[in-house]
Amino acid sequence: MNNVRDLEGNTQENPVEELIYFTTNNNIDNESPSIKTSYPANSSSEIVRNTSIQLVFNEALDPDTVSNETIILKQGDTILEKELEFIGSVVQLKPSAIFSSWTNYTIFIQTGIKDLAGNSLATATNISFTTNDILDNSPPVVETVIPTDGSTNVSNNTLITLIFSEAIDITTLNTQSLSIVEIDKNENSKNVPGTVSGEEKTLIFRVNESFRTSTKHRITILGTIKDLAGNSLGENKTYSFTTGRLVTYTVAGTVSGLSGTLVLQKNGGDDITITSNGSFKFSTDVAGDYSVTVKTQPTGQTCTVSNASGTAITNVTNVSVSCQSFTIGGTVTGLSGMLVLQNNGGDELSINADGNFTFSKSVAYLYNVTIKTQPAGQTCTLSNGIGTATANVSNVSVSCVTTNYTIGGELSGMGSSKSIVLQLNSGNELTLNSNGNFTFATNINYNTFYAVTVKTNPTDQTCTVLNASGTITSNVSNIVISCDPYMEAKTWYVDNGDGTIYDKSTGLIWKKCSQGQTWNNNTNACDGNAGTYYYCNEMDNDCNGGNNTGILGTFLNDGSSTAYNSCNDLNTNPTGGFAGKTGWRVPTIEELKTLIDLSGENEDTGAKINGIFFPNTILSGYWSASGLISSDLSAWYVYFLNGSVDNYTKTYYLNNVRCVRYGP
């Protein structure tokens, strides 16, 4: 291993590659890390001004997630500069300046902090404290040593524990901070290898293997150890203890519920293979600590160990191993076909009726139930399908509903201001007031027969239905309702002989001539040139934005539009209104479209309008009063040169106008 350094920064002299072996258990760590203790504690007061801050978590943290963004120190709203020191599960904050007197500070610990398994801190945590006006200049004191100085007959795997008078700065710990040597009868000393760790007031030495039995040992504590205020211990401290003779004990227990092959190990080795229920005993005895774990689980089972670890002071016989496997099942509702489920990507189960179900294969712990095949014409959804089994699972829920589809089509040929009533399956009526696409409000279930009929025809028309019936397997949109012409064009217009035309099909009265032209009562012709007008003189509230409802009096108001004014003036000039009638206005787009005549029999100069009743029509655009929903700036018009319908900018284009009123 290259670039390995000790806590003093020294590199390995002769680096070599080393293999590190470890054995997993059957557990998945889903537990969030949490703060175990802190100094200062939350809501504490009288804290010295020159202290550092120490946070102790319940497990080791991912170093990439410990940063100035995830741990913030504030005084009021001001973020304070600090240095972060991090070792294992302990984080220390060293402010760049000492704290102010009698001041409140807050540490903000964010959820971005994660443990080594990737679990985030469950909730953000705040720790507040208040200072006093004191600077701590007193060194820490060793208050307790375990084993006590001069102890004899000490266990050869004991933990060496030191407890100080105050929290210790972990950054001042190194491999020499707490050292132990064994001393032979000639007073020669030999270093005892181990690891040193610390948090808060406690410093612990863990021997790598075990202390030599019946041997004197000396503990040395370096005076360079400091408290969180930076005060050193001072002089080195030494203590001694003597171990007792080596005593070993057996480790044994029982297995229950086993149906395969189980491999246990003790203290990371001493494997034992077990194939039946009953008693077991490891081949190697222990002289102190023991830890029994499952190395290999039996197929399809999960075995758990209780009384698995401890320190042997007599023969151990109470290690208990319990092996289990769990069934996975649940209930199905609403099913009317064949449903296929699977668990963990296999173990398929076909179900054709409502009720309870159970997969044929048991699982050791993880299960993942999915739908492999949906029943025809239905959609089934799963709940409680994924989890870790700790008992037989029976709450997987499958709910199936029958898929339904829409019925619709297109209506054409129906006259303006008319309506038609359709029926679906002799009910579910739908009234249509205009041509175009339609859809019934009621959906039809999969594989169900449908039939669309005409209940009520439009006045003076007969409508037929194509693609009227069938068995539904998807949305239907190809029903065609076609209505025959209800009268010839020349018969639905009536010339009133006063410069107006009555349309019997719509009930509207039209001005025979375009605005700007003059009706000649001698020749019944339209003399002069038609005028052009703006829909809006300028965009203002009177123009009413994008209103296209066609409701009279809402889209144009007096003074805002030359188009509006040209028709509105007919109501007062001459007195009593044009042709003795009032109510003149600009037509809606739907009204104006009824004048389009694409029959090819126009007796005029080519405008797509009946030239007999509307002579001298300009081959250009005529404004409607209908604005666009999608744009406040534009309105609809009819281009009578070719009968097309389009829109123009209200304030930019000049168009012709033909006025209309309700009749008769």
Domain count, the chain: 6
Assign 544 a pLDDT band (cuts: 50, 70, 90): low
More confident residue, 66 or 156: 66
CATH number at residue 125: 2.60.40.1220
Element (H, E) at 567: helix 562-568
Residues 234 and 255 in one domain: no
371 domain residue, yes or no: yes
Please check whether residue 46 is in contact with residue 130, taking contact to mean a CB–CB distance below 8 angstroms.
yes
Q: What is the per-residue DSSP string for 17-51?
A: ---------S----PPP-EEEEESPTTEEEE-TT-
H, E, C per residue of 595-653: CCCCCCCCCCCCCCCCCCCCCCCCCCEEEEEEECCCCCCEEEEEECCCCEEEEEECCCC
Is residue 398 located within the same domain as residue 410?
no
Query: Mean pLDDT lowest for which of 359-368, 479-488, 609-618?
Result: 479-488
The pLDDT of residue 556 = 53
Among the ranges given (21-30, 118-127, 154-163, 228-237), the one the predictor scored with the smallest mean pLDDT: 21-30
* Alpha carbon distance 483, 280 (integer Å): 92
**463 and 566 housed in the same domain:** no
Are 358 and 305 part of one and the same domain?
no
Q: Report the run of H or E that residue 565 belongs to, with start and end.
A: helix 562-568
Last residue of a domain, one of 264, 297, 324: 324
Give the residue from 460, 520, 514, 456 showing the smallest Cα distance to 492.
Answer: 460
- Percentage of the chain modeled with pLDDT above 90: 54
Please, which residues have CB within 8 angstroms of residue 362's CB and are 6 or more apart in sequence? Answer: 300, 325, 326, 327, 328
Between CA 440 and CA 425 the distance in angstroms is: 11
Tokens encoding 47: 């804290």
- Banded pLDDT at 27 (limits 50, 70, 90): low
Q: What is the pLDDT of residues 71-126, one digit of tens each?
A: 999 999 999 999 998 888 899 999 999 999 999 999 999 999 999 999 999 999 99
pLDDT for 12 equals 60
- Give the model's pLDDT for residue 187: 85
Query: Do 370 and 429 lie in a common domain?
Result: no
**Whether pLDDT at 270 is above 90:** yes
Do 501 and 586 lie in one domain? The reply is: yes
CA 374 to CA 391: how far, in whole Å?
28
pLDDT at residue 608 tops 90: no
* Residue 21 falls inside a structural domain: no
Confidence of residue 553 (pLDDT cuts 50, 70, 90): very low
Examine the domain organization and report whether 516 and 629 are in the same domain.
yes
We report the CATH number of the domain holding residue 439 as 2.60.40
Q: What is the pLDDT of residues 311-347, one digit of tens each?
A: 887 899 999 999 888 899 999 999 988 999 999 999 9
- Out of 342, 371, 402, a domain closes at 402
Rounding to the nearest 10 degrees, give the CA dihedral for residues 150, 151, 155, 156: 10
Contact (Cβ atoms closer than 8 angstroms) between residue 262 and residue 321: yes
Average pLDDT over residues 34-40: 92
pLDDT tens string 569-602: 999 988 889 999 999 999 999 899 889 886 654 5
Please report the pLDDT score of residue 488 as a whole number: 44
- Please report whether residue 581 resides in a domain: yes
Say how many C-beta atoms besides its own lie within 10 A of residue 202's C-beta: 14
Residue 590's domain spans which residues?
489-662
C-alpha 57/C-alpha 120 separation (Å) is 12
The predicted-structure confidence for 392-449, as pLDDT tens digits, reads as follows: 999 999 999 888 899 999 998 888 888 999 999 888 899 999 999 999 998 988 888 9
Same structural domain for residues 516 and 577? yes
What pairs with residue 422 in β-bridges? 430, 454
538 shares its domain with 586:
yes
Does 212 fall in a domain? yes
Distances (CA, A) of 613 to 67, 416, 503, 519, 522: 86, 18, 10, 12, 15
Q: Are residues 182 and 161 in the same domain?
A: yes
In a domain, 7, yes or no: no
30 falls within a domain: no
- H/E segment holding residue 590: helix 589-593
Chain Cα centroid distance, residue 56: 33
pTM listed for this prediction: 0.42
26 occurs within a structural domain = no
Cis bond upstream, residue 485 (ω within 30): no
Task: Find the mean pLDDT for residues 122-148.
Answer: 94
- Adjacent-strand bridge partners of 191: 181
Residue 548 has pLDDT above 50, yes or no: no
Residue 541's pLDDT band (cuts 50, 70, 90): low
Q: Are 172 and 239 within one domain? A: yes
Same domain, 150 and 91: no
With cut-offs at 50, 70 and 90, classify the pLDDT of residue 550.
very low
pLDDT score, position 466:
83
Kindly state the average pLDDT of the residues 158-181.
Answer: 87
Q: Choose the final residue of a domain: 483, 516, 541.
A: 483
Confidence (pLDDT) at 546: 44
User: What are 309's two structure tokens?
Assistant: 């670890």
**Tally: H helices and E strands in the chain:** 3, 55
Average pLDDT in the 290-315 region? 89
Report residue 30: phi and psi, to 5°: -115, 10
Lowest mean per-residue pLDDT among 17-26, 126-135, 602-611? 17-26
Beta-bridge partners for 429: none
